[in-house]
Structure 1
Amino acid sequence: MKSYTITVNGNVYDVTVEEKAAGAAPAAPVQKKAPVAPKAAPAPKKAAGTGNVKVTAGAAGKVFKLEAAVGQQVEKGAPIVVIEAMKMEIPVVAPEAGTVASIDVAVGDAVESGAVLATLN
């Protein structure tokens, strides 16, 4: 039996491998590779500044469309971002009237439920 430590996607696994019986064809030698450092998460996309009112995703999905831009005045209930989830387009609306201070996502970004998509002042 031989024991190995393997790292896959940043997760470390201890593996024990049973050797073949006598007379069996030898296995090709295992080449050890240098560990690869995990990629740093990209910084969130920030625009002009951060406002004090957060606009959050109500469902997980993919950003389909940006309906507002930084500096734009919006009314309560105006669409800010459209998320595509389960082949449906779900508008994320302004919780109150204000000025868009930042758009923190881009079209095509995957977002989780509750993620901050934009901020308002």
Structure 2
Amino acid sequence: MRNYTITVNGKTYSVSVENGAAVSVAQTAAPVASAPAAAPAPAAAPAGAEGSVKVTAPMPGKVLSVKASAGQAVKKGDVLLVVEAMKMENDIVAPQDGTVATINVSAGDAIESGATLATLN
């Protein structure tokens, strides 16, 4: 039997494997601290201009195109960005009606899951 320690989304698990099949999986008490990911540089937003509603990346990927700009009024469901993940294009949409306060990424940027892509007011 082999024992492994696996970290998934910041949670650490102890896994025992015998003959290629997991025998037991248990979450350990303390998550393993990982190195902080570099945040993307904001796109020319003045200090304090960030909106109250954050639009975050649901998965890691690459920004293919930015469809909205700061100051633009958007409705719930309007496409703000297009992100490529696992060779599929994913529309990142406005979660509610509002005005785009900031766009924090540009086309070609690599993004991590949970990164703030834009903010709305």
TM-score (structure 1 length as normaliser): 0.62
Give the CA deviation at 1:51.
Answer: 0.3
How far did residue 63 of structure 1 move? Answer: 0.5
**2:40–2:104: 8 Å Cα contact kept in structure 1?**
no
Task: Give SS of 1:106's match.
Answer: coil
Unaligned runs of 5+ in 2: 1-37
Question: Which residue number corresponds to residue 7 of structure 2?
Answer: none
- Residue type matched to 2:113 in 1? S
Q: 2:42 aligns with which of 45, 49, 56?
A: 45
> What residue is the counterpart of 1:82 in the other structure?
82
Cα distance, 1:42 vs structure 2: 7.7
Identity among equivalent pairs (%): 56
Query: For residues 118 and 74 of structure 1, what CA distance do their matches in structure 2 show?
Result: 12
Radius of gyration: which is bigger?
Answer: 1
Root-mean-square deviation (CA, aligned residues, Å) is 1.6
Question: Structure 2 vs 1, CA of residues 42 and 90 (structure 1 numbering), >3 Å: closer, same or farther?
Answer: closer
Name 1:73's counterpart in structure 2: 73
Which one has a larger percent strand, Structure 1 or Structure 2? 2
CA 1:100 to 1:84, structure 2 compared with 1: closer, same or farther past 3 Å?
same
Q: State the AA in 2 paired with 1:44.
A: A
- In structure 1, list runs of 5 or more residues that go unmatched: 1-40
Structure 1 CA distance for aligned equivalents of residues 113 and 105 of structure 2: 14
Aligned to 1:38: none
Q: CA offsets, 1:38-87, max 9 Å, x none?
A: xxx68722425200000111111000000101100000011111101111
